[in-house]
Amino acid sequence: MTTTAPSFRSVFRVGEFRALWLAHVLSVAGDQLARVALTVLVFDRTASAGWAAGTYALTYLPDLLGGALGGLADRFPRRTVLVVADVVRALLVALMAIPGMPWPVAAVLLVIVQLAAGPFQAARQAVLPDMLGEEKLATGQAILSSTYQAALVLGFGAGAAVVAWLGVSGALWADAVTFAVSAAALRWGLRPYPVSKVTERVPQWASLKAGCRLVARDRKLRSLLAIACCCGFYVVPEGLAVPVAAQLGGTGVLGWLLVANPVGTLLGALLISRLPRARQVRWLGPLAVASSLVLLPTGWTPALPVVVAIWTVSGMFSAHDLITQVQYSLAAPPDQRGQVIGVAIAALRAAQGLTIAAAGALALAFAPTTVVAIAAVAGAGCAGAAGIAWTRAVRTDRAVRPRRTPLDGATPPPAP
């Protein structure tokens, strides 16, 4: 039995994964570039920081609906879903790039662009277990997660630089090209990965209801989704970064606070991916608790370097999300994997949005650092309960798993 995780190099030897990773890089770059370009466009047209910030926030809303469309990855070949989503996004961004396009129309187009990201993400996650197998899945997920976090760290500066260099219209044309190249890489780099004939005939609404019922009834899926939704608590620092920066010394320190979590998550993903799978499963609950609990000292309003260190360590622990994603994908039936992942995407966005909104309301009555501490306690409690449920689900699964017999291909025990 393998005791160490496969290396990044062994995963990159899989040609299909290289194509998927390239598409992932281009997709993340395209999403970020579109957000920055449209925000600049709105600010130039309206001279309103409020409209600009609202437009940027609007790009996250479609994930709630896009997740519900994850069932498309179970009704059509998954390569088809990936390619069509990229082609649609390329065309819509090209429309946004037309000079003189009214900014409200461009904002609506960007919402549809983000809406297409839901089926794309569901199809990408659904195809990974078939592409890499259970042995390499965790390492592949770590590569994608690390790439995403690195893009977050570099995204704002790179996006702003491209917009300054090419202008808004030129940046949007470049964005359209990224989606087109991604579509080409997926079309010629992946197998079709056809789906079950049964799921092809299931209507989208019925697929969504079936996915929700499956998650609600399956102990492993239910506990994993609960652990994942605890991210709403440890992303509170991101939502309160501006007022916390003001409390600690002004907006000049904001950049340090914003990059702390992505840098920590990047480091954590690299470390966690090296753990054997059995240890990852055992440590999932404790890591989920630690992701929130380590934020508690923020409530004492320590010096900026201490806060940055605390938030970075929280990011490292929060890299347990890659374990959650791997186990969630493996626990889902292959013919419903896309929809089950879509349910998770919608649930995660809802959890993050509601928790950050609640934190914002609390910040009207308490100091921002105190609100982070409150979120730390609440998040640790919820993660602890979800972690216990996960441990019990794993033990129950092992207890009811049928023992192998000679008919299953096992070697019979020696005769006494």
Q: Mind listing the pLDDT tens digit for each residue in 44-53?
A: 776 655 565 4
What is the per-residue pLDDT across 280-306, written as a single tens digit (0 to 9) for each? 999 999 999 999 999 999 999 889 999
Q: Which residues contact 17 (CB under 8 A, 6 or more apart)?
A: 11, 131, 132, 140
* Distance (Å, whole) CA 38 – CA 198: 41
Which residue from 371, 345, 390, 304 is spatially nearest to 61, judged by alpha carbons? 345
Q: What is the pLDDT of residue 79?
A: 93
Check whether 221 has a pLDDT greater than 80.
yes
- How big, in percent rounded to 5, are the helix, strand and coil portions of the chain? 85, 0, 15
Question: What domains are defined for the chain?
Answer: 13-191 (1.20.1250.20), 203-400 (1.20.1250.20)
Tell me how far apart the alpha carbons of residues 284 and 159 are, in angstroms, rounded to a whole number: 34
Query: Tens digits of per-residue pLDDT, 13-52?
Result: 999 999 999 998 888 777 777 767 776 777 677 665 556 5
Residue 63 has pLDDT above 90, yes or no: no
Nearest CA-CA partner of 29 in 180, 242, 189: 180
pLDDT for 405: 39
Q: What is the DSSP string of 372-397?
A: HHHHHHHHHHHHHHHHHHHHHHHHHH
Minimum mean pLDDT among 76-80, 249-253, 361-365, 379-383: which range? 249-253
3-class state of residue 4 by DSSP: coil
Tokens representing 301? 């309003």
pLDDT at 293: 97
Query: Higher pLDDT residue, 324 or 157?
Result: 324
Asked whether the predicted pLDDT for residue 354 surpasses 50, the reply is: yes
Are the C-beta atoms of residues 336 and 199 closer than 8 Å to each other? Answer: yes
The encoded tokens of residue 8 equal: 């990044």
pTM: 0.76
Q: In 3D, which of 331, 333, 362, 328 has the Cα closest to residue 347? A: 328
The string of DSSP letters for 166-179 reads HHHHHHHHHHHHHH
Average pLDDT over residues 151-173: 73
CB 24 within 8 A of CB 144: yes
Burial class (CB in 10 A: 0-12, 13-18, 19+), 44: exposed
Chain centroid to CA 408: how far? Answer: 38
CA distance 342 to 76: 15
Coil vs helix vs strand at 351:
helix
- Listed in sequence order, the residues at least 6 apart from 398 whose beta carbon sits closer than 8 Å to its beta carbon are none
Q: What is the mean pLDDT of residues 344-373?
A: 86
User: Average model confidence (pLDDT) for the chain?
Assistant: 82
